[in-house]
A and B are shown apart, each in its own frame.
With several copies, the nearest count.
Chain A
Amino acid sequence: MDINKVKSQFPILTKKINGKSLVYLDSSNSAQKPISVLNSLDSFYKNEFSNIGRSIHSLAVNATNKFEETRESVKKFINANSKDEIIFTKNATESINLVATTFGQQNIKKGDEILISELEHHSNYVPWHYLRETKGAIIKFAPINEDGDIIIDELKKLITPKTKIIAVTHLSNVTGTIVPVKEIVEIAKKKNIPVLIDGCQSAPHIKIDVKDLDCDFYAISCHKVYGPTGVGILYAKKKWLESLPPYIGGGGMISEVKKDRITYAPLPEKYEAGTMPTAEVVAFNESIKFMNSIGIENIVKHEQQLTNYALEKLKKINSVKIIGNPKNKAGVISFIIEGVHPHDISTIVDEEGVAIRAGHHCCQILHDRLNLSATARASIGVYNTKEDIDILCKAVENCRKVFELK
């Protein structure tokens, strides 16, 4: 993989921030977009735009075909069985809400248990919390150890006959932990418990094969996978999408509408109400092509090298402490500097053009567990280079200087 060739596809990475070259290390938050995605967006609007599905004029037919081509690409990208298992949403948060709401409506009763983990993003907790509020469900948290790994034995012990669903992240957006989700699915399957995987962080960074994982639900945010904002994906096994009730109701998801009854459209339209993010879905096809053009193995390798390099260098800096030391770690590096608050770190490195995130990263449970109110987080994308890490480390050193640490 030629990193310079990859990087040159991202127009924003040539920009200056505070007079310095942008070093973008906030990809876990949202990734930058390659030129092919932007060209697709622009060209679609300029030459081909139309709403899809319901009109039968040439523009609409073409737009519908392009839209469905992306669905086909996503299907292949995650190795689903059928295009009908790919639902377009507005973001991963909506994908998870869709499952929590419809699954909850059908399968959760008072006292039933939902098993999540201490690693979860708020988007994989709040939707389940609603079922606690409205249905009297119980939420259990599979604990993590000091390294940031879910303790699988403890997770097993938390499974009871009342456990109705397990929802876990594939890759932590704080510690970079790669969770052994396949193992968790196997454990769950023995007890016939469906599993939702929050694939927000994994989709851009590790290989995904839903058939191999055999999970029931998988949620993705396209903007993190080098795609436009405004699109998410829910993969779900057909049996679920067929049997669960519909979610958002409106145009496009119905079959027959009468004053006293309504029947719903077949899959996947049943779950795609109203006008879709048409242009954004069409452009997302280019994001997948971009990933495929590099090859996921090469992406993993590049990012792994960079992660190791960054970890080594950061650890050498006095007073820097890396958060979590999981068995398998991807390019999400949260850290603190003894004596400098993460917000101050973010402000100081920003002065050098380095964009990192400070805060709880939508993981308050995890931060409580680690006894931290906030951390600084540098997260790696396929376009990052060794120099980026060098500049980060210099900027981190500068925090120590500004705060006159010894």
Chain B
Amino acid sequence: MDLKQLYQDIILEHGKSPRNFGKCDKYTHQAKGYNPLCGDKVQIYLKLNNKEKVEDLTFEGSGCAISMASTSIMTELVKGKSLEIAKKIILDFLNMIKNTKEIKTKELNDDQKTIIMSLSGVKQYPMRVKCATLAWHTLTSAIEKNKEEVNTEKVE
């Protein structure tokens, strides 16, 4: 294992200066996520327009570098995409963290794929996987308008 694989510069940078932080105006969906293992918390605000496009996507919360970076990267990549593509990206990311080697979503360009793959170092650190996936599960929950808080101990 190599710490630099986990804490790539891009992660540290996102961790320190997360993008899309705060509560966006007129969000249409929102959800809360919680990782009881670390106490990490995240709240996702999603604004879908009537064409089912992600017009805005922001978050509030606190957590470790991995969790903050993952959330920040997620908002950056999903913002502006259609709902359908957003769902694809989420699935793609979760699969990548579990086992697959690469990101397949065609709608992401190579730069974006590199950004998302910067989170792949987490695979080597099983206890940290939930830090990386919390936000993504919470976004799914927001999309599905689930009332219950996402709990990393409850999702597979």
- Chain A contact residues, CB within 8 Å of chain B: 18, 53-54, 56, 60-61, 65, 254-256, 265-266, 269, 339-344, 347-348, 351, 358-360, 364, 367, 373-374, 402-404
Of the candidates B3, B40, B65, B153, which one forms a contact with A373 in the assembled complex, judged by CB atoms under 8 Å apart? B40
Of the candidates B16, B126, B131, B153, which one forms a contact with A343 in the assembled complex, judged by CB atoms under 8 Å apart? B131
C-alpha gap A403/B126 in the complex (Å):
21
Contacts of A341 in B (CB 8 A): 63-65
* 8 A–B pairs (Cβ distance < 8 Å), ordered by A: A56-B37, A56-B128, A255-B153, A339-B16, A343-B63, A344-B64, A373-B40, A403-B12
A344-B64, A347-B125, A404-B12 as given contacts; A269 in contact with B38, CB under 8 Å:
no
Contact present for A266 and B62 (CB under 8 Å)? no
C-alpha gap A342/B3 in the complex (Å):
15
Contact present for B7 and A266 (CB under 8 Å)? no
A255 and chain B: residue at smallest CB distance? B36
C-alpha gap A351/B7 in the complex (Å):
13
Instruction: List the 5 closest A-B pairs by CB distance, nearest first.
Output: A341-B64, A56-B127, A343-B64, A373-B39, A266-B154
Contacts of B34 in A (CB 8 A): 255-256
Which of B3, B126, B151, B153 has the largest count of A CB atoms less than 10 A from its CB?
A: B3
C-alpha gap A10/B38 in the complex (Å):
30
C-alpha gap A172/B153 in the complex (Å):
27
Contacts of B3 in A (CB 8 A): 347-348, 351, 402
A56-B127, A360-B39, A402-B7 as given contacts; A344 in contact with B62, CB under 8 Å:
no
Contact present for B153 and A269 (CB under 8 Å)? yes
Which of A18, A53, A341, A403 has the largest count of B CB atoms less than 10 A from its CB?
A: A341
B6 proximal to A (CB < 8 A): yes
Of the candidates A54, A61, A256, A404, which one forms a contact with B126 in the assembled complex, judged by CB atoms under 8 Å apart? A61
C-alpha gap A199/B153 in the complex (Å):
30
Contact present for A347 and B6 (CB under 8 Å)? yes
Which residues of chain B (116-156) have a CB below 8 Å from chain A?
A: 125-128, 131, 151, 153-154
Give per-residue flags for B103-120: 1 if the beta carbon is below 8 A from chain A beta carbons, else 0: 000000000000000000
Contacts of A351 in B (CB 8 A): 1, 3
Give per-residue flags for B46-76: 1 if the beta carbon is below 8 A from chain A beta carbons, else 0: 0000000000000000111110000000000
B79 proximal to A (CB < 8 A): no
Contact present for B39 and A347 (CB under 8 Å)? no
Contacts of B16 in A (CB 8 A): 339
Shortest CB distance B36–A (Å): 5
Contact present for B37 and A54 (CB under 8 Å)? yes
Contact present for A403 and B7 (CB under 8 Å)? yes
A18-B1, A265-B153, A266-B151 as given contacts; A343 in contact with B38, CB under 8 Å:
yes
Shortest CB distance A128–B (Å): 21
Of the candidates B36, B37, B128, B151, which one forms a contact with A347 in the assembled complex, judged by CB atoms under 8 Å apart? B128
Shortest CB distance B49–A (Å): 34
Shortest CB distance A359–B (Å): 6
Contact present for B65 and A403 (CB under 8 Å)? yes
Contact present for A61 and B127 (CB under 8 Å)? yes
**Apart from A265-B36, A341-B63, A343-B128, what 5 extra A-B contacts exist at CB < 8 Å?**
A265-B153, A339-B16, A341-B64, A347-B3, A373-B62
C-alpha gap A360/B64 in the complex (Å):
13
Contact present for A266 and B153 (CB under 8 Å)? yes
Contacts of B62 in A (CB 8 A): 373
Shortest CB distance A55–B (Å): 9
Shortest CB distance A191–B (Å): 33
Contacts of A54 in B (CB 8 A): 37
A270 and chain B: residue at smallest CB distance? B153
Contact present for B154 and A367 (CB under 8 Å)? no
Shortest CB distance B112–A (Å): 25
Give per-residue flags for B1-43: 1 if the beta carbon is below 8 A from chain A beta carbons, else 0: 1011011000010001000000000000000001011111100
Contacts of B65 in A (CB 8 A): 340-341, 344, 403
C-alpha gap A373/B16 in the complex (Å):
17
Shortest CB distance A268–B (Å): 10
Contact present for B39 and A374 (CB under 8 Å)? yes
Shortest CB distance B38–A (Å): 5
C-alpha gap A255/B151 in the complex (Å):
9
